[in-house]
Amino acid sequence: MEQNDFLTQFKGNLILFGVSGSCGEATVKGARTVVNGVEIDSSLVKGTTIQWFPSAELKFVNKYLTRVSRKVKEIGLLLHKGVALISDDKMEDFRNWLKDQQVEFQAEVEALALRFDEVVEDHVKANPDVAELIEGHITNKVKDGAHSDPLQALAGWMGSFRFAAFPPIPFMTFEEEQEDLPALATMSLWDDVAMQSKLLHDNSFLGEEACSQRAITAVRKIYTKLESMSFLHDGIINVVSFFDEAFDDMPKKGEVSGVKFAQVKKLLALCSEAETLRSIAAGKVDAQTALGAVVEEETPTGEENWFDEDDDVITPTPMSQQQTPPSQAKKPLPASEMQPEFVWDDDDNW
């Protein structure tokens, strides 16, 4: 469907959606890289990635994302990845169809969780040379040994699978008013970013003097969302520049404290208000002035691992030497903090 024809005298809804899940990969900390018999020691080499869970079992995630995108193209207009327009007369059917897809998706996630031990057992048997790494990662990072029920023991891992959509934004456009469409979408983006920033600020930064790399990864995801939606409005780049300023020279390992922690904390505080975001977008607030004036109070410490967006980090410790009981293992962040994506709202908000 042609965009210009679709938008002429259009009355409908802007939809933001996303489907995501675990990639089943982890980075082995301390791994050595050897090229042509020579060990490479460089900060540019990030280590070895291990597929601790078979990727073939995770392909269903992309299946649902493709399914939704195709459906949108059939009945509406796909403006951008995860951004669509659906007309009023097709919205109700699309809404019901989308909910059915979400139920099916969640059922597949739960079915996979119930088969988790069986899948891992077969994976380990097929890869005995890395069996200890796989089992050690699952024990320390994935399963909560305090629960015998698999759905409870794997609740954190299951939470990484998301099929979500932002509440639709109703609007009407006419041929001479098509320029208002990006403005409407941008308005909803400011509200969404403000909500996510406030949640992350209050849960991980407020009252703290340092944060982990996991929290920094969550902030990066807000940055990624803004960058991917920059086609909507020129001012979004101004907001992105604030994130660039905060992430400049950001430590890749260990706790983040001192100046960088203070800058990210202030960044989230600023972005927690939609009106402030609009002011930043309009160029009324300068990034260096707002974030550059933060005074260092302490030096970054710690040697935690750097977590990429979809990766975990594991240390090749023999199973016999692992002393941390599963019930005391570090738990993953809540889904809202791990993946600040779009969320389902109550029926009244549709």
Which residues have CB under 8 Å from 227's CB, separation 6+? 240
Residue at 299 is within a domain: yes
**Quick one: residue 283, left, alpha or beta (phi over 0 = left, psi -120 to 50 = alpha)?**
left
State residue 302's pLDDT score.
Answer: 38
Residue at 250 is within a domain: yes
State residue 347's pLDDT score.
Answer: 35
What are the φ and ψ backbone dihedral angles of 130, each rounded to 5 degrees?
A: -120, 20
Which residues have CB under 8 Å from 13's CB, separation 6+? 85, 86, 87, 88, 91, 168, 169, 170, 171
Burial of 299 (0-12, 13-18, 19+ CB in 10 A): exposed
Q: pLDDT tens digits, residue range 213-232?
A: 989 989 988 887 788 677 77
CA 127 to chain centre: 30
Q: pLDDT tens digits, residue range 74-118?
A: 888 777 778 888 888 888 999 999 999 999 999 999 999 999 999
Neighbouring CB atoms inside 10 A of 237's CB total 13
- Judged by DSSP in three states, 31 sits in coil
Point out which residues pair with 35 in neighbouring strands: 38
State residue 227's pLDDT score.
Answer: 80
DSSP conformation letters of 64-100: HHHHHHHHHHHHSEEEETTEEEEEHHHHHHHHHHHHH
Q: pLDDT tens digits, residue range 60-72?
A: 999 999 999 899 8
Comparing CA positions, the residue from 203, 247, 243 lying closest to residue 338 is: 203
pTM of the model: 0.52
Point out which residues pair with 312 in neighbouring strands: 26
What is d(CA 168, CA 12) in angstroms, rounded to the nearest whole number?
Answer: 9
DSSP conformation letters of 152-173: HHTHHHHTT-EEEEEEEEEEEE
Q: pLDDT tens digits, residue range 156-172?
A: 899 899 998 877 777 65
Residue at 36 is within a domain: no
Comparing CA positions, the residue from 138, 25, 123, 13 lying closest to residue 79 is: 13
Domain carrying residue 209 = 182-314
State residue 171's pLDDT score.
Answer: 61
Residue at 111 is within a domain: no
Amino acid at 91: M
Quick check: 126 pLDDT over 90?
Answer: yes
Quick check: 307 pLDDT over 80?
Answer: no
Residue at 95 is within a domain: no
Strands 77-80 and 83-87: antiparallel
State residue 333's pLDDT score.
Answer: 42
Say if residues 116 and 109 touch (Cβ distance below 8 Å).
Answer: no
Residue at 73 is within a domain: no
The more confident residue out of 308 and 15 is: 15
Neighbouring CB atoms inside 10 A of 81's CB total 12
pLDDT band at 328 (very low <50, low <70, confident <90, very high): very low
Residue at 90 is within a domain: no
State residue 292's pLDDT score.
Answer: 62
Strands 25-28 and 312-314: parallel
Q: Which of 7-16, 138-147, 273-282, 333-342 has the highest mean pLDDT?
A: 273-282
Q: How many domains does the chain have?
A: 1
Helix (H) or strand (E) holding 259: helix 258-271
Residue at 319 is within a domain: no
Range in 37-46, 131-140, 197-206, 246-255 with the lowest mean pLDDT? 37-46
What is d(CA 273, CA 20) in angstroms, rounded to the nearest whole number?
Answer: 27
